């Protein structure tokens, strides 16, 4: 169980065609994950460098120990949002402790996932109702998109209550015309490249990379006064166990956040792994399949791989990771044959950390915000929620209740028990409770 790479590594290294496909896919994913990981790190409330650290060792570890040949692991929007909620709660607002608790979470999530794997508890993930996840992910994606508006407008983060007096807010924090203009340009550019240039899949998949290059050129060559990323330290992360000098934390809150991040993160990973496994291999002009059918997806094996990846992220001094929908789909679409493509991605990210971080100095923060919004927007599936409600009132009601509660609970911040207050994670728990209640009332809402 522990090592799964023996199912693909010998063939990948012995066949030039397989090897070349993995090289192309791995480099392509690296061009996507580098800017994405930096953006997702800021979403989690951390410096961009920690996103790059999470895109190094965990990427290769997940491919070696996991069961999917195509799953691309690393920082993802949903897990980074949950991490942001967790570390701000655990650190009690002390921003200097954010990275400490992010590392602690990466360890705890990894250990929990490995325990689930070794206890053969993968079947638990088949019990989580998909309609509850639909409502939760749609609301969470909307929250993620809204949280990036401060970068788009070149303003500091504001509270929801500050929006009530918009005039005073704009007087105290005027928005940046440069940041807003660049955000609009980059957003339109990525949309056109991704959705209109369909004749060249490779080009469309690199929309994020090209957007980063263009925005760096604009901020370098023209007068750009809005916030930029600035200095990013060069070099590989130190591999070490976390210190426990600051381990003064509410254990119930740590356990809750660990469980929520573990389950939501892995649900995303296993969903895309199964989806890509079920796709039929494309054929060339002669009818020959271009891809070998991948080895079967094993939930417990994948849990083990994701757990190892999270522990390695903690050892690298970074945040929790998971499988990415977008990058995994691109990995498969680019012709990846095996998990060796993720090893190539890891190498390219490592070379970037060693030699290319100065090139990212002038990267506008507005671009990072737009990258996050562009990535999560497809996850706001309002049309699908409406369709589900029209087809099945019970399931649709649970979905909408989960969606609304996920939006409302962070605003209310009710204290449930001492040290435990409601937040975004409360929405999925509340949705699950409503699902159980509806199951009892309506007997079987799945039918």
Handedness of CA 72, 77, 82, 88 (dihedral sign): positive
Predicted confidence at residue 352, as pLDDT, reads 96
Tokens for 114? 């490995």
Predicted confidence at residue 216, as pLDDT, reads 95
DSSP-assigned states of every residue in 10-30 = HHHHH-HHHHHHHHHHHHHHH
Q: Which helix (H) or strand (E) holds 251?
A: helix 251-278
**25-59 pLDDT, tens per residue?**
999 999 999 999 999 999 999 999 999 999 999 99
Beta bridge partners of 217: none
SS3 417: strand
CA distance 72 to 70: 6
Cα 433–chain centre separation: 26
Angle formed by the axes of helices 325-333 and 251-278, nearest 10°: 20
**210-224 pLDDT, tens per residue?**
999 999 999 999 889
Tokens for 420? 């435990």
Cα 426–chain centre separation: 19
Predicted confidence at residue 127, as pLDDT, reads 75
Predicted confidence at residue 278, as pLDDT, reads 57
Report which of 398, 406, 374, 369 is spatially closest to residue 138, judged by C-alpha positions: 406
Taking 70 as the pLDDT cut, the residues of the chain under it are: 1-3, 158-173, 198-200, 244-247, 277-295, 414-422, 443-447
CB-count exposure of residue 113 (10 Å: 0-12, 13-18, 19+):
buried
Contact 425, 82 (CB under 8 A): yes
SS3 175: coil
Predicted confidence at residue 234, as pLDDT, reads 94
Q: CB neighbours (10 Å) of residue 210?
A: 16
Predicted confidence at residue 82, as pLDDT, reads 93
SS3 322: strand
């Amino acid at each position: 169980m522990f090592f799964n790479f023996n199912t693909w590594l010998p063939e990948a290294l012995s066949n030039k065609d397989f090897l070349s496909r993995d090289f192309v896919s791995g480099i392509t994913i690296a061009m996507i994950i580098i800017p994405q990981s930096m953006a997702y790190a800021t979403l989690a409330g951390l410096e961009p460098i920690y996103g790059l650290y999470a895109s190094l060792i965990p990427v290769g570890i997940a491919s070696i120990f996991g069961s999917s040949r195509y799953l691309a692991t690393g920082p993802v929007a949903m897990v980074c949002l949950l991490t942001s909620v967790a570390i701000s709660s655990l650190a009690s607002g002390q921003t200097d402790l954010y990275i400490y608790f992010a590392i602690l979470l990466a360890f705890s999530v990894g250990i929990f996932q490995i325990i689930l794997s070794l206890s053969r508890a993968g079947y638990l993930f088949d019990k989580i109702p998909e309609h509850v996840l639909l409502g939760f992910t749609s609301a969470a994606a909307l929250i993620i998109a809204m949280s990036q508006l401060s970068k788009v407008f070149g303003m500091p983060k504001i509270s929801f209550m500050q929006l009530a007096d918009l005039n005073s807010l704009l007087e105290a924090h005027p928005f940046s015309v440069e940041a807003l203009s660049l955000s609009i340009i980059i957003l339109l550019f990525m949309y056109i490249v991704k959705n209109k240039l369909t004749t060249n899949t490779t080009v469309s998949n690199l929309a994020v990379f090209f957007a980063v290059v263009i925005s760096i050129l604009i901020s370098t060559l023209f007068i750009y006064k809005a916030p930029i990323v600035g200095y990013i330290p060069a070099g590989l992360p130190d591999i070490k166990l976390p210190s426990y000098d600051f381990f003064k934390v509410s254990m119930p809150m740590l356990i809750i956040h660990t469980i929520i991040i573990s389950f939501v993160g892995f649900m995303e990973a296993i969903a895309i792994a199964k989806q890509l496994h079920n796709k039929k291999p494309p054929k060339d002009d002669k009818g020959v399949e271009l891809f070998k059918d991948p080895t079967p997806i094993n939930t417990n094996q994948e849990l083990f791989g994701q757990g190892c990846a999270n522990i390695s992220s903690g050892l690298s001094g970074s945040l929790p990771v998971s499988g990415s929908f977008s990058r995994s789909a691109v990995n498969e679409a680019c012709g990846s044959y095996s998990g060796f493509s993720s090893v190539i991605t890891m190498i390219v990210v490592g070379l970037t950390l060693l030699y290319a971080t100065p090139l990212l100095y002038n990267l506008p923060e507005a671009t990072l915000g737009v990258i996050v919004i562009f990535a999560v927007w497809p996850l706001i599936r309002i049309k699908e929620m409406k369709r589900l409600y029209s087809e099945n009132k019970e399931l649709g009601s649970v979905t909408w209740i989960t969606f609304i509660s996920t939006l409302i609970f962070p605003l209310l911040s009710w204290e449930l028990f001492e040290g435990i207050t409601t937040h975004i994670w409360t929405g999925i728990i509340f949705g699950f409770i409503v699902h159980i209640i509806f199951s009892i009332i309506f007997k079987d809402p799945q039918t």
